[in-house]
Amino acid sequence: MFTDVHAAGAWLTRQPTRHEPDSPLGARAIPCERGWRQPDQQAGTSAEDITISRCICTQTGIRQGEATTPPDRYFLAIALQTTRLKLNRGRHIVFDGIMPAGTLYVGAPSQQLSAVFCAPYDFLHVHASASVYFPCEPGADPAAPEILNDLVLLRDPFAEQLAKALTEHGHLADREFARCIGRTLAMHIARRERPHARVNALAKWRLRRVEEYVGTHFDHCVSLSQLAKVAGLSRMHFAAQFRAATGYRPREYLLRERVERAKSLLSGSETPLAEVALTVGFCTQAHFSTVFKRMTGDTPARWRSAVRNASAASARKAASCVLTTDIS
């Protein structure tokens, strides 16, 4: 049940595009949810072994949600875009930080989960029959479902590709195709080797020290050993705990910091691209362009041009408003 924290209308109901005819919700392969983990009745019936829905929110601000997995189902969620959130079950924090696109979360039957969202998000939700896909084998530990509960797999490539197979087809994907993808996802989880131990997130004071170090040394060669030393941990423990805290490997985090610094230079100066690349710590312009495009979807040159065009348009609009006010 959602709390009264979120504003009315914060949930986006998917609207048909010009390529997609306006059709009843029941005809859609992936119905949109009314709220977080609140699928409409048309999303499927309890008799189906797989039900799929999508939860999209484009609003900024803090929102909270709470839901309990049905007693005969496993809950599977795939992040379709990078977001920031906190998941907790009672006093136990499951995840707190930036969740990358492609992350897979698994919840066991009859388990309650609370969420605090700090950014827009887009999730594909799948409820899979426990008896069909996760049956208890003879002599198995009755607590086996708990082993899968709160399993977070950052950037599961196979799950991400399955999600894309559904969402990229849009209205062309029929209900049976969607269920087929859902079943494949459930079997992927059921066959996966169970984690032997949970990794604690990097302590906040250690994380702050690493963030400050990266913020002042992003333009130098920064190694994993250096970051681990700053955090006061071994390389292995630091890398695992850092990823649990931020959703990024240390190397990925450093690259993102460099790209953010590059954006400031690109939008506020005429600095040549090769010089920008060297200033923020890249060895070559080619590597800089490759990483920049992977993270922003555009090349540095096109990104700079788009930002400046947007700024120019905004300036013209502001000038027009001032002129209109003076005339009146």
33-45 pLDDT per residue, tens? 888 888 765 555 5
Place of tokens 């999303």: 43
Residue 13 maps to a domain = no
Could you tell me the CATH number of the domain that includes residue 273?
A: 1.10.10.60
Q: What is the pLDDT of residue 138?
A: 53
Q: How far is CA 140 from the centre of its chain?
A: 34
CB atoms under 10 Å from CB of 49, counted, come to 17
The tokens of 297 are what? 């979807």
Q: How far is CA 52 from CA 42, 174, 218, 240, in A?
A: 10, 12, 42, 32
204 and 183 in a single domain? The answer is: no
Write out the residue range of the structural domain in which residue 53 sits: 25-190
**Positions in the chain short of pLDDT 70:** 1-29, 40-47, 136-147, 169-173, 193-198, 321-328
Q: How far is CA 188 from CA 110, 163, 174, 183, in A?
A: 21, 13, 21, 9
Assign 3-class secondary structure to the chain. CCCCCCCCCCCCCCCCCCCCCCCCHHHCCCCECCECCECCHHHCCCCCCEEEEEEEECCCCCEEEEEECCCCEEEEEEECCCEEEEEEECCEEEEEEEECCCCEEEECCCCEEEEEECCCEEEEEEEEEHHHHCCCCCCCCCCHHHHHCCEEECCCHHHHHHHHHHHCCHHHCCHHHHHHHHHHHHHHHHCCCCCCCCCCCCCHHHHHHHHHHHHHHCCCCCCHHHHHHHHCCCHHHHHHHHHHHHCCCHHHHHHHHHHHHHHHHHHHCCCCHHHHHHHCCCCCHHHHHHHHHHHHCCCHHHHHHHHHHHHHHHHHHHHHHHHHHHHC
Domain tally, the chain = 3
Could you tell me the CATH number of the domain that includes residue 181?
A: 2.60.120.10
Q: What is the pLDDT of residue 233?
A: 92
78 and 158 in a single domain? The answer is: yes
CB atoms under 10 Å from CB of 105, counted, come to 23
Residue 254 maps to a domain = no
Beta bridge partners of 112: 68
220 and 113 in a single domain? The answer is: no
Q: Are 100 and 155 in contact (CB under 8 A)?
A: yes
Q: What is the pLDDT of residue 320?
A: 73
Residue 107 maps to a domain = yes
pLDDT digits (tens, 9 = 90+) for 77-132: 999 888 889 999 888 888 888 888 888 899 989 999 999 999 899 999 999 998 88
122 and 218 in a single domain? The answer is: no
Residue 7 maps to a domain = no
Residue 6 maps to a domain = no
223 and 297 in a single domain? The answer is: no
Residue 12 maps to a domain = no
175 and 103 in a single domain? The answer is: yes
225 and 163 in a single domain? The answer is: no
143 and 171 in a single domain? The answer is: yes
Last residue of a domain, one of 168, 190, 212: 190
Q: Are 94 and 88 in contact (CB under 8 A)?
A: yes
83 and 209 in a single domain? The answer is: no
133 and 167 in a single domain? The answer is: yes
Q: What is the pLDDT of residue 143?
A: 44
Cross-sheet strand order for the sheet of 112-117: 63-68, 112-117, 83-89, 92-99
CA distance 192 to 47: 26
40 and 123 in a single domain? The answer is: yes
Say how many CA atoms lie within 13 Å of 87 toward its Cβ.
23
Q: Are 29 and 178 in contact (CB under 8 A)?
A: yes
Residue 228 maps to a domain = yes
Could you tell me the CATH number of the domain that includes residue 209?
A: 1.10.10
Residue 157 maps to a domain = yes
CB atoms under 10 Å from CB of 80, counted, come to 21
Q: What is the pLDDT of residue 18?
A: 37
